Amino acid sequence: MSRDWRHIVPHLKEKGYGVLAPDMLGYGETAKPTDPAAYVPSLISKDLVDILDAEKLDKVVAVGHDWGSKAVSRLASYHPERFIAYAFFAVAFMEVTPPTDFQIYLDYLKRVYGYDLFGYWTFFSAPDANEVIQAHMESFVSIMYPYDPTIWKTRFAPTGAMRGSLLEDYVAPKPSYVSEEDKKHFIETFKRNGFEAPTCWYKIMTSQLAAKDDQQIPYERLIPPASAPIYFGAAKHDYIALPKLGYTVFGKDEFSKHNVTQKEYDADHWVVLSKGDEIARDLDAWIESTVAAKANI
């Protein structure tokens, strides 16, 4: 949601930047279709560029976190002419891959990292996910915003763990970056809007809708243009979007000619909430020192 950027946007505006932080489809005040086909990357990319057009913005810096990083990744493929640089937080550039059975992908990750990094996608893709979450909202917030980030390895990530944790009403203290007001806003928002629309972001992954949609991307647009600088802010204590996943992507030969700035933050997955001031300063410094020089602005 756009509210996730509340600790970053004001600082950037103070520096003189124009900032556009939209609610993504299915969240906040946007439309909330429950057909996963509405969330495929090519359509999300079109929606975002339509917003740029409506705001009369020609070329911008794209910044994303979590699924926002997925959106930024595909904007680089479908509309590279509209972006002068790309920044990713927690989740790095998401590569185009052929459609693969989701369980095969899970099994591979478990062999490499020791647990199902994305097993919770199966729960979010289940037809009763919204019902279960709504019935155990306190537990859901406690797991999504963990006081101890390591619980994601046992309570969240593995297949079946999220559902089991909710059904037993597991609750832990809030982390310092989540206030009572934040918690209240989250609960009220999702009790009102539900989770059927937001979970479509997971359904397009487990059903291969996203991967099939990606197959239309031409070879020369599989990665961002080398002329566009990239920033990757990894979260040291993220036990799902592991920093190593991002470092591996940007360490590939395909990115050898790119100007990639990388920094690891002492934070869990919600780095944009806990390190807002620091991120704003780093983005400002990166834009001034790297992006502006590269774009001749």
Average pLDDT over the chain reads 96
So what's the pLDDT on residue 7? 94
Residue 102 in this model has a pLDDT that exceeds 80: yes
Residue 236 in this model has a pLDDT that exceeds 90: yes
Query: 153, 242 in Cβ contact below 8 A?
Result: no
pLDDT in tens, 36-49: 999 999 999 999 99
Please report the DSSP string for 171-203 in residue order. --PPPTT--HHHHHHHHHHHHHH-STTTTHHHH
pLDDT in tens, 253-262: 999 999 999 9
Residues of the chain with pLDDT > 90, as a percent, come to 96
**pLDDT-based confidence at 281, cuts 50/70/90?**
very high
Block residue for tokens 């647990």: 115
Query: 69, 213 in Cβ contact below 8 A?
Result: no
CATH placement of domain 2-97+214-295: 3.40.50.1820
pLDDT in tens, 48-61: 999 999 999 999 99
Give the containing element (helix H, strand E) for 243: helix 243-250
Torsion sign across C-alpha atoms 56, 59, 65, 67:
positive
What are the CB-based long-range contacts (under 8 Å, 24+) for 281-286? Answer: 281/11, 282/231, 282/233, 283/8, 283/12, 283/63, 283/87, 283/231, 284/11, 284/12, 284/15, 284/17, 286/87, 286/229, 286/231, 286/261
- Please give the Cα distance from 119 to 169 (Å, whole number): 19
pLDDT in tens, 67-85: 999 999 999 999 999 999 9
Torsion sign across C-alpha atoms 225, 207, 26, 233:
negative
**pLDDT-based confidence at 292, cuts 50/70/90?**
confident
Could you tell me which residues come within 8 angstroms of residue 220 by beta carbon, excluding any fewer than 6 positions away? none
- Please give the Cα distance from 253 to 251 (Å, whole number): 7
Query: 93, 69 in Cβ contact below 8 A?
Result: yes
Could you tell me which residues come within 8 angstroms of residue 241 by beta carbon, excluding any fewer than 6 positions away? 66, 90, 91, 92, 235, 269
pTM for the structure as a whole: 0.96
Nearest to 147 by CA among 176, 175, 179, 169: 175
- Please give the Cα distance from 158 to 101 (Å, whole number): 17
**pLDDT-based confidence at 1, cuts 50/70/90?**
confident
**pLDDT-based confidence at 297, cuts 50/70/90?**
low
Q: Where in the chain is the domain with CATH 3.40.50.1820?
A: 2-97+214-295
Residue 129 in this model has a pLDDT that exceeds 80: yes
Q: Average of pLDDT values for 190-198?
A: 95
Residues of the chain with pLDDT > 70, as a percent, come to 99
Q: Which amino acid is at 130?
A: N
